[in-house]
Amino acid sequence: AIDISALRKETGFVTFDPGYGNTCPSKSSITFLNGEAGALRYRGYTIAELCEKHTFEEASYLTLYGELPTAEQLAEFKSGVNAYSKMPKQLEKIFEAYPDTIHPMVMINVLTSSLSAYFPEVTSISDPAQVEKATQVAIGQMLTFVAFAYRKSIGASFEYPTEPCSSAAGLLKMMFGNDYVVDPDVEKVIDELLILHVDHEFNCSTSAVRLIGSSQANLFASVSGGISALWGPLHGGANQAVVEMLQFIHENNIDPQEYLEKVKRKEDGIRLMGFGHRVYKNYDPRARIIKKTCDRVMAKLGKEDPLLAIAQKLEAAALEDEYFTSRKLYPNVDFYSGIVYRAIKIPTEMFTPLFALGRLPGWIAHWREQNSDPKARIGRPRQIYTGETQR
């Protein structure tokens, strides 16, 4: 990497880099990603090992603090987060202000942004104790926001779990009610999906969090910007978009090969959703794990989903097709995750909120990393002006 700051000072040199494809705004020690090799590790641990041997809470702790927790550290972390898992009563009024048809991403964004108002005592960016509490508030509240956004969409009242449970089980209980019996395999699947989404270096939403945080905006304000960035269909919104694409193909009885031809002709700008990645030019390692999970879930539930059959046909055809292979377009994390969520009865509009829940520890870790760097500067790209210079 070339450090162009000195060059810029001397010559006014500016890099033109659409989409920041080749721009590195800072160093980071959170996530190792090698797109050519298809490798992804949080603090040096592979995602496969974390999914196999650890929980979402442990992966969150690892991402935030750099080491896997001891039993004592984990218990302390969980109790810190649990202390903030109840939503302030006044926030219920915010739910009342929106129609039930609202997309849950709007709800969790508005609620996260409101945390600055309800927890003003933890909005300092320079007091480590406040940063620690803000971390616990954000993680504790987000699970509740995600579950309650769903409850609102079905017009149901809010419920908290009656006994201590994992984030995955708590999410299911809060979404579907305390009578819902959590199948340990389903709990494991959610836990695994959350782990796979924890961090992904300087992706669009994390970069948004870092950029907002670089102005010294507090953690809640920065994270709510990340939620907005995540919602778009080219990023975290792709999991919903994939299932909608598969449904469209299914309901209109379109031959998958024919659909691929439309994609290749770029008809109406359509893309094969869930395919392609800025960094992975080989198979996305998260997709590899999710595909196996998908097979496991379908076998366990004895289910057949016509959308899965369409996805498999699309994938097989695309992997043989020069359009996709020459552009190095392979399935990404979102291609099969929606099918897994469908199998365990998570509604389509909740896919992206679940992504946000998983990504939250990563956003916070990045905000904290940048915030603790004494040399961090405000993010401020330059333009190449193409308008009238004077009129």
Binding positions for ligand ACO, 309-338, rule CB under 6 A: 327, 329, 332-334
Of 327 and 345, which has the nearer Cβ to ligand ACO? 327
Number of residues that bind ligand ACO (CB under 6 A): 19
In Å, what is the CA distance from 271 to each residue of 130, 254, 257, 330, 355? 44, 15, 14, 12, 21
Nearest Cα residue to 67 out of 54, 82, 80: 54
Stretch that binds ligand ACO, among 67-75, 133-141, 267-275, 292-300 (CB under 6 A): 267-275
For the record, the structure tokens of 131 come out as 């940063």
CB of 121 to ligand ACO, least distance (A): 34
> What amino acid is encoded at 262 in this protein?
K
Q: What is the CA radius of gyration of the chain?
A: 21
Output 73 or 247, the one with its CB closest to ligand ACO. 247
Q: Does 277 bind ligand ACO (CB under 6 A)?
A: yes
Q: Is 42 helix (H, G, I), strand (E, B) or coil?
A: strand
Identity of the amino acid at 212: I
* Residue 233-252 contact track with ligand ACO, rule CB under 6 A, x = bound: -xxx-x--------------
Q: Which is nearer to ligand ACO, 53 or 327 (CB)?
A: 327
Selected from 213, 274, 338, 353, the binder of ligand ACO by CB under 6 A is 274
State the residue for tokens 């904290």: 368
Q: How far apart are the C-alpha atoms of 194 and 113, rounded to whole Å?
A: 22
Residue 262 contacts ligand ACO per CB under 6 A: no
Of the residues 191, 199, 284, 334, which is catalytic?
Answer: 334
| Residue placing its CB nearer to ligand ACO in the complex, 53 or 278 | 278
> Does the annotation count 334 as an active-site position?
yes
Distance CA 235, CA 233 (A): 5
Instruction: Give residues 125-144 in contact with ligand ACO (rule: CB under 6 A).
Output: none
Could you tell me where the beta strands, DSSP code E, fall in 105-253? none
Annotated catalytic residue 373: no
Active-site annotation holder among 277, 284, 366, 373? 277
**Out of 263, 287, 307, 310, which residue is the one contacting ligand ACO (CB under 6 A)?**
263
Structural contact between residues 348 and 247, judged by C-beta atoms closer than 8 angstroms: no
Q: Which residues contact 369 (CB under 8 A, 6 or more apart)?
A: 28, 29, 30
Residues 6+ apart with CB under 8 A from 135: 64, 219, 364, 368
Applying CB under 6 A, the span of 128-136, 157-165, 232-240, 372-380 interacting with ligand ACO comes to 232-240
- 19 contributes a contact to ligand ACO by CB under 6 A: yes
Structure tokens at 227: 């939620």
Sites of contact with ligand ACO (CB under 6 A): 19, 234-236, 238, 263, 271-278, 327, 329, 332-334
Catalytic residue positions?
A: 277, 334
